[in-house]
A = this chain, B = another copy of it.
């Protein structure tokens, strides 16, 4: 190992200095120099010639081996998810970028907003670019052929957060049914019996898995499941905030809420505060994901760590392994969630019920 260091350092320093030296000596950008040396038609032919001449004059040696390695890999990685602005996906993306080395790759991102057509356009665009691979959380209703198209053209696909039953591709996600049961059991352990579930939808695998995890945990504790205690839909802070009115007017007077994710939980807590009740005292609230924000919320949020960083890191590793020709079996990799107990949950008290709005 040690004997390689001087060689490596010398090569990278030499290349760096020379590209920028050419650029500076001509008063143009290194981007233009780099394109010209790769004979890109984006630079005018006369400028290209001038740059090459200057490169020769300055003794710039074009590293052909590096260039051919670059040619076989575009260095472009696509990431397409429901909504990259959701911090849950943001945290997955940060881990992917960090694992794949931000400086060696160009990441192009896209939101599909669960439109199969938008997702398809993105995959086609990525194929046109010669993308190295795509990491995706498939849109609701994705036809297997749309993903197969990528695979068939040598662009491996890795799934995060959502699975597709029809395709045996590497899939990284948290164990949703287990995780939501952790949260439900935590509330049952605090003496709560009337526990609502807020947010999520049956249209995604995650939504179905979380609802069944909640239902099973209640049943195991001998608590009757009341479908009216489920308020489906919300997945944002605004959604959680708006659901507070519905939640607080439920005739069953729930004393606790298992929320779809941290965003819904924080929105719900804000709505509960607005109604004059204290989350964590009058009403216990659990989140899901353990976003960075959970620990600084007021009150700090009891939640389920869902391993976003692990999901991103492992998905990136799987992509690198595929590109290196690994023949490791594909399939599902479930990350085991963990409970993070903070201030938004507390023991059940009779008093809480008297405070309720009806």
Residues of A within 8 A of B (CB): 28-32, 34-35, 42, 75-76, 84-85, 87, 90, 93-94, 97, 102-103, 106-111, 113, 115, 117-118, 120-125, 127-129, 143, 145-146, 148-149, 153, 237-238, 241, 267, 269-271, 273-274, 292-293, 296-298
Q: How far, in whole Å, are A63 and B93 apart by their CA atoms in the complex?
A: 39
Choose among B30, B110, B125, B270 the residue that contacts A296 (Cβ–Cβ < 8 A): B270
Q: How far is the CB of A2 from chain B (nearest CB, A)?
A: 29
The residue in chain B whose Cβ has the minimal distance to the Cβ of A273 is B298
Contacting residues, chain B, for A35 (C-beta < 8 A): 124, 149
Q: How far, in whole Å, are A274 and B29 apart by their CA atoms in the complex?
A: 50
The DSSP consensus for interface residues of chain A is helix
Contacting residues, chain B, for A143 (C-beta < 8 A): 29
Q: Could you tell me if B125 and A76 are in contact, using CB atoms closer than 8 angstroms?
A: yes
Contacting residues, chain B, for A145 (C-beta < 8 A): 28-29, 31-32
Contacting residues, chain B, for A127 (C-beta < 8 A): 42
Q: How far is the CB of A109 from chain B (nearest CB, A)?
A: 4
Contacting residues, chain B, for A238 (C-beta < 8 A): 292-293, 296
Given the interface contacts A42-B153, A146-B29, does A84 sit within 8 Å of B109 by beta carbon?
A: yes
Contacting residues, chain B, for A293 (C-beta < 8 A): 237-238
Q: How far, in whole Å, are A148 and B47 apart by their CA atoms in the complex?
A: 14
Q: How far, in whole Å, are A32 and B152 apart by their CA atoms in the complex?
A: 11
Contacting residues, chain B, for A120 (C-beta < 8 A): 29-31
Choose among B85, B110, B274 the residue that contacts A90 (Cβ–Cβ < 8 A): B85
Contacting residues, chain B, for A118 (C-beta < 8 A): 102-103, 106
- Nearest first, the 3 A-B pairs at minimum CB distance are A29-B145, A85-B90, A241-B296
Choose among B32, B97, B128, B146 the residue that contacts A129 (Cβ–Cβ < 8 A): B128
A sample of 24 cross-chain residue pairs with beta-carbon separation below 8 angstroms, ordered by A number, consists of: A29-B120, A29-B145, A29-B149, A30-B120, A31-B124, A34-B124, A35-B149, A42-B149, A84-B85, A84-B109, A85-B93, A85-B94, A97-B111, A102-B113, A102-B118, A103-B117, A106-B110, A108-B108, A108-B110, A109-B110, A125-B129, A273-B298, A274-B298, A298-B298
Q: How far, in whole Å, are A29 and B116 apart by their CA atoms in the complex?
A: 11
Contacting residues, chain B, for A113 (C-beta < 8 A): 102
Q: How far, in whole Å, are A35 and B145 apart by their CA atoms in the complex?
A: 13
The residue in chain B whose Cβ has the minimal distance to the Cβ of A78 is B108
The residue in chain B whose Cβ has the minimal distance to the Cβ of A296 is B241
The residue in chain B whose Cβ has the minimal distance to the Cβ of A121 is B106
Contacting residues, chain B, for A84 (C-beta < 8 A): 84-85, 109
Apart from A29-B148, A109-B111, what are 7 other A-B pairs with CB-CB below 8 Å? A29-B120, A31-B123, A85-B94, A108-B110, A108-B122, A109-B110, A274-B298
The residue in chain B whose Cβ has the minimal distance to the Cβ of A27 is B145
Contacting residues, chain B, for A42 (C-beta < 8 A): 124, 127, 149, 153
Q: How far, in whole Å, are A273 and B269 apart by their CA atoms in the complex?
A: 15
Q: How far is the CB of A142 from chain B (nearest CB, A)?
A: 10
Contacting residues, chain B, for A107 (C-beta < 8 A): 110-111
Q: How far is the CB of A196 from chain B (nearest CB, A)?
A: 19
Contacting residues, chain B, for A273 (C-beta < 8 A): 298
Select the residue from A28, A75, A84, A85 with max chain B CB neighbours within 10 A: A85
Q: How far, in whole Å, are A224 and B28 apart by their CA atoms in the complex?
A: 46
Q: How far is the CB of A306 from chain B (nearest CB, A)?
A: 17
